[in-house]
Amino acid sequence: MFLFLMAIRHPNNASDYSKVGELLNITLNTLLGQSDQNFKVVIVCNKIPPGAIKHDKVHYHVVSFPPLSEQVPNALGVVDKFQDKGTKYLTGLLFAKQFNPKQVFIVDADDWIHKDTVAMARQKAASPVLYVNDGYFVNYDSKEYKRKSGMNRYCGTTFVYDFDFLFNLTSCTDSASAQDDQNLLLSRCDQEFVLRVLSNHKINYRYFRLKGYPPKDLNLRAICWVQGTGENVSRVKPADKGVAVDEKFLSMFTLGPSVTPSHTPITIRTRELLNSIKSSFEWRMTQLFKKQQY
pLDDT of residue 71: 47
pLDDT of residue 229: 81
pLDDT of residue 142: 87
Count of Cβ atoms closer than 10 Å to residue 101 Cβ: 22
pLDDT of residue 286: 74
Looking at this protein, which amino acid is placed at residue 189?
A: C
Count of Cβ atoms closer than 10 Å to residue 270 Cβ: 10
82 CB-side CA count, 13 A:
16
Strand partners, 105: 4, 160
pLDDT of residue 127: 96
Residue 61 makes CB contacts below 8 A (sequence gap 6+) with 42, 43, 44, 45, 91, 92, 95, 178
pLDDT in tens, 248-275: 999 999 997 666 666 777 777 777 777 7
pLDDT higher than threshold 50 for residue 72? no
Mean pLDDT of 46-50: 96
255 CB-side CA count, 13 A:
24
- Give the model's confidence band at 166: pLDDT under 50 very low, under 70 low, under 90 confident, else very high: very high
Q: What is the 3-state secondary structure (H, E, C) of the chain?
A: CEEEEEECCCHHHCCCHHHHHHHHHHHHHHHHCCCCCCEEEEEEECCCCCCCCCCCCEEEEECCCCCCCCCCHHHCCHHHHHHHHHHHHHHHHHHHHHHCCCEEEECCCCCEECCCHHHHHHHCCCCCEEECCEEEEEECCCCEEEEEECHHHCCCCCEEEEHHHHHHHCCCCCCCCCCCCHHHHHHCCCHHHHHHHHCCHHHHHHHHHHCCCCCEECCCCCEEEEECCCCCCCCCCCCCCCEECCHHHHHHCCCHHHCCCCCCCHHHHHHHHHHHHHHHHHHHHHHHHCCCCC
Average pLDDT across the chain, whole number: 88
CATH number of 2-135+150-231: 3.90.550
pLDDT of residue 15: 86
- Give the model's confidence band at 75: pLDDT under 50 very low, under 70 low, under 90 confident, else very high: very low
Q: Measured between alpha carbons, how far is residue 136 from residues 143, 154, 158, 242 in Å?
A: 12, 11, 12, 10
pLDDT in tens, 190-237: 999 999 999 988 889 999 999 999 999 999 999 999 998 876 555 455
Q: How is the chain split into domains, by residue range?
A: 2-135+150-231
